[in-house]
Amino acid sequence: MPWATMSRQDPWTDHGAGHPEPVGLGRTEFRLAPRVLGAQLGTTNQTLSLEQEKKGKKRHPIAGTMLNQLLNFNRLHHYMTDLATKHYTYRLISPFRSEVYTADPANVEYILKTNFPNFGKGWYNYTILSGLLGDGIFTVDGEKWRHQRKVSSYEFSTKVLRDFSSSVFRRNAVKLAGIISNAATSKNSMDIQDLFMKSTLDSIFKVGFGVELDSTCGSSEGTLFANAFNDSSELTLWRYVDITWPIKKFLNIGSEAKLKKNIKVIDDFMYKLIRTKIEKVSNSKDDSAVECITPDHACFLIEKKEDIMSRFLDLNETDPRYLRDIVLNFLVAGRDTTATTLSWFIYMLCKHPHIQEKVAKEVREVTKASEDLSFGDLAATMTEEILDKMNYLHAALSETLRLYPAVPVDAKICFSDDTLPDGFSVKKGDMVAYQPYAMGRMKSIWGEDAEEFRPERWIDENGMFRGESSFKFTAFQAGPRICLGKEFAYRQMKIFASLLLHCFMFKLTDESKPVHYRTMLNLHINGALNVRAFHRPGCKISTT
Ligand code: HEM
């Protein structure tokens, strides 16, 4: 679906790129009967609930405390999926507020759309996230959010940005194919998650700033920035479970001292780049390109006005802090999400070789690429029109996101007392979180085969991609704050996946090694995803 058409559609139904999808759920369709407090709960809780019921206000069952989350930190999403299977919607007790976790699509629709103004980031999320993300689109509500959403939606819908980003994705996919080809020739194993991380960072950096970071080819600056970026993301998530973080911050010790150091690395790098760019862009009389010297004195040609920052500069936004926040939020939004999804996708294809073959077959049939094409020539065939025809690939990526959503839990703050569609009440100040990870695995939502990786569930009888309600498939959120980069992400993932699967076959280096997530803001694979690649017969080995 072209970005330009987004505004003409209901912006908060789950539109897959170029694919027709059903509209949102009816409220009753997925509503479960409120659960009576089970035997698992202590008598105090039952008494509490009965008192509240007498007053006409029922609160969701208490499934544990925040301490349980800490104790289960390394298997947090398993733990929360188990709780969601028992309770669908439940509360965890924390010292400052009730935390309500829901896997009920009717509740999700209510929070994200029906009563959208009553559930937002709030002061709680803002204080946790703003250290890293400033006043960017991820941390703010109200007018500040509306303004950024409006400007960013417009920019993302322009053909200039779409064409520019597609050409960046193709170039970086070709670069990655070259690295994988060398590893295949020398029969070396590689950490494909690490390669995707570098490649998507380079891509989003180029689209955000117009500058090559080149972390894929090991530029020291890119690696330093990428490490600081990884550590900051992890340390920021830690704030959600470590209630002592404000004290540590005040004393500048432990995790908070580390976070501060990492944010400084990020800021130094970004501010230098922003200042250089503002100077160069304002001094340049030539409209087509400007030269930019980065902090390590490397010199780049920036295609003027194609990248996100230039487009904001064009709107006379020259406050370095504002520009830093905008671009950093896009980097955070666009890097880990697509890289982790591509990693889990390759993992799933290694676990299901017949599905890997099916995707490769579709790419071959849709591109009709002749056998002697180089990586570059092949990438050039991946136009939007061609990508739109790859229904099975789209389904396999969506199926990956169902089971391994890049954002596994997403928390909002309730701004005033409210009653959710399941009949239970939430209070002002409660944290209310929907759970894409748990929801993707629930039989009550996806059927008995919920835990199975089966792209076919997304394909209709005519072989076309069939979307799901965004209140059921919540990987991209839903409602007015639905992911702004959804189409962008699918386009990037489809370009990378189609080029790589057309040229290579992937196998896990060690089939017996367990693969697990690492608990972070995004659903990373813990450690590395080591795979071996094999050239497919007929794919010419060339990086040009
Ligand atoms: C597989 C890839 C992706 C997934 C699963 C994903 C998922 C999400 C989710 C769950 C949110 C809501 C987060 C929140 O509550 O704050 C979100 C928001 C957002 N995403 Fe994505 N995202 C992906 C890729 C991207 C890309 C590539 C970009 C842009 C380059 C992007 C830009 C954004 C922005 C700007 C928002 C904030 C929207 C708002 O608050 O109005 N995303 N995304």
In the chain the first and final C-alpha atoms are separated, in Å, by 29
The pLDDT assigned to 180 comes to: 97
Q: Tell me what percent of the residues of the chain surpass a pLDDT of 70.
A: 83
Query: Does residue 371 register a pLDDT over 80?
Result: no
What's the fold here for domain 17-138+408-455?
3.30.43
Q: Judge residue 43's burial from the number of C-beta atoms within 10 Å of its C-beta, 0-12 exposed, 13-18 middle, 19 or more buried.
A: exposed
The pLDDT assigned to 89 comes to: 95
The pLDDT assigned to 56 comes to: 58
Looking at ligand 1, which atom is closest to the CA of residue 474? 10
CA of 377 to the centre of ligand 1 (A): 31
Lowest mean pLDDT among 188-192, 195-199, 285-289, 291-295: 291-295
Query: What is the average per-residue pLDDT within 44-72?
Result: 67
Banded pLDDT at 171 (limits 50, 70, 90): very high
Look at 41 and 104; give whichever has higher pLDDT. 104
Looking at ligand 1, which atom is closest to the CA of residue 204? 30
Query: Does residue 263 register a pLDDT over 60?
Result: yes
pLDDT digits (tens, 9 = 90+) for 4-16: 222 223 233 333 3
Count of alpha carbons within 13 angstroms of residue 362, beta-carbon side: 21
Query: What is the average per-residue pLDDT within 174-202?
Result: 95
How far apart, in whole angstroms, are the C-alpha atoms of residue 408 and residue 398?
14
Q: Tell me what percent of the residues of the chain surpass a pLDDT of 90.
A: 58
Residue whose CA is at the smallest distance from ligand 1 atom 29: 485
Look at 278 and 303; give whichever has higher pLDDT. 278
483 assigned ligand-binding residue:
yes
Q: In testing the pocket of ligand 1, which one of 162, 165, 337, 412 has its CB within 8 Å of the most ligand atoms?
A: 337
Looking at ligand 1, which atom is closest to the CA of residue 411? 15
CA of 329 to the centre of ligand 1 (A): 9
The pLDDT assigned to 73 comes to: 85
The pLDDT assigned to 285 comes to: 55
The Cα angle at residue 145 between residues 115 and 520, in degrees rounded to 5: 85
Contacts of 10 (CB under 8 A, 6+ apart): 23, 24
How far apart, in whole angstroms, are the C-alpha atoms of residue 536 and residue 375?
13
Query: Does residue 43 register a pLDDT over 60?
Result: no
Banded pLDDT at 456 (limits 50, 70, 90): very high
Query: What is the average per-residue pLDDT within 362-375?
Result: 87
Residue whose CA is at the smallest distance from ligand 1 atom 34: 484
Q: Which residues pair with 91 in a beta bridge?
A: 62, 100
Pairing of strands 62-65, 89-93: parallel
| Domain chopping of the chain, boundaries | 17-138+408-455
Query: What is the average per-residue pLDDT within 277-300?
Result: 55
How far apart, in whole angstroms, are the C-alpha atoms of residue 149 and residue 480?
9
CA of 50 to the centre of ligand 1 (A): 40
Give the distance from CA 70 to its chain's centroid.
24
Q: Judge residue 374's burial from the number of C-beta atoms within 10 Å of its C-beta, 0-12 exposed, 13-18 middle, 19 or more buried.
A: middle
User: Do residues 343 and 194 touch, judged by C-beta distance below 8 A?
Assistant: no
The Cα angle at residue 282 between residues 281 and 286, in degrees rounded to 5: 65
Residue the block writes with tokens 């050039």: 380
Banded pLDDT at 304 (limits 50, 70, 90): low
Query: What is the average per-residue pLDDT within 334-347?
Result: 95
Looking at ligand 1, which atom is closest to the CA of residue 340? 1
CA of 374 to the centre of ligand 1 (A): 33
Looking at ligand 1, which atom is closest to the CA of residue 405? 5
How far apart, in whole angstroms, are the C-alpha atoms of residue 451 and residue 441?
6
Query: What is the average per-residue pLDDT within 194-213?
Result: 88
Look at 451 and 211; give whichever has higher pLDDT. 451
Q: Which residues form the pocket of ligand 1, taking CB atoms under 6 Å from any ligand atom?
A: 137-138, 149, 152, 204, 330, 333-334, 337-338, 341, 401, 406-407, 410, 475-477, 481, 483-485, 488-489
Banded pLDDT at 21 (limits 50, 70, 90): very low
pLDDT digits (tens, 9 = 90+) for 515-544: 999 887 789 999 999 999 999 986 766 545
User: Do residues 376 and 543 touch, judged by C-beta distance below 8 A?
Assistant: yes
Looking at ligand 1, which atom is closest to the CA of residue 481? 41
CA of 373 to the centre of ligand 1 (A): 35
Q: Is the dihedral of CA 195, 201, 203, 204 positive or negative?
A: positive
CA of 436 to the centre of ligand 1 (A): 13
Residue whose CA is at the smallest distance from ligand 1 atom 11: 483
Query: Does residue 426 register a pLDDT over 60?
Result: yes
Residue whose CA is at the smallest distance from ligand 1 atom 15: 410
Contacts of 51 (CB under 8 A, 6+ apart): none
Residue whose CA is at the smallest distance from ligand 1 atom 42: 485
Most confident of the following: 240-254, 347-361, 370-384, 515-529: 347-361
How far apart, in whole angstroms, are the C-alpha atoms of residue 543 and residue 179?
9
How far apart, in whole angstroms, are the C-alpha atoms of residue 173 and residue 166?
10
Q: In testing the pocket of ligand 1, which one of 233, 483, 495 has its CB within 8 Å of the most ligand atoms?
A: 483
The per-residue pLDDT of the chain, averaged, comes to 83
Q: What HEC string does 466-511 produce?
A: CCCCCCCCCCCCCHHHCCCCHHHHHHHHHHHHHHHHHHEEEEECCC
CA of 466 to the centre of ligand 1 (A): 21
The pLDDT assigned to 23 comes to: 31
Q: H or E element: which one contains 110?
A: none
Query: Does residue 445 register a pLDDT over 90?
Result: yes
Lowest mean pLDDT among 177-186, 218-227, 351-360, 525-534: 218-227
How far apart, in whole angstroms, are the C-alpha atoms of residue 381 and residue 495?
10
Lowest mean pLDDT among 54-58, 197-201, 232-236: 54-58
The pLDDT assigned to 412 comes to: 95
Contacts of 339 (CB under 8 A, 6+ apart): 193, 196, 197, 199, 200, 201
Query: Does residue 219 register a pLDDT over 80?
Result: no
- Specify the DSSP class assigned to residue 65: E
Token pair of 479 as six digits: 């409602």
The pLDDT assigned to 91 comes to: 93
Residue whose CA is at the smallest distance from ligand 1 atom 9: 476
Looking at ligand 1, which atom is closest to the CA of residue 207? 30
Token pair of 179 as six digits: 């690295």
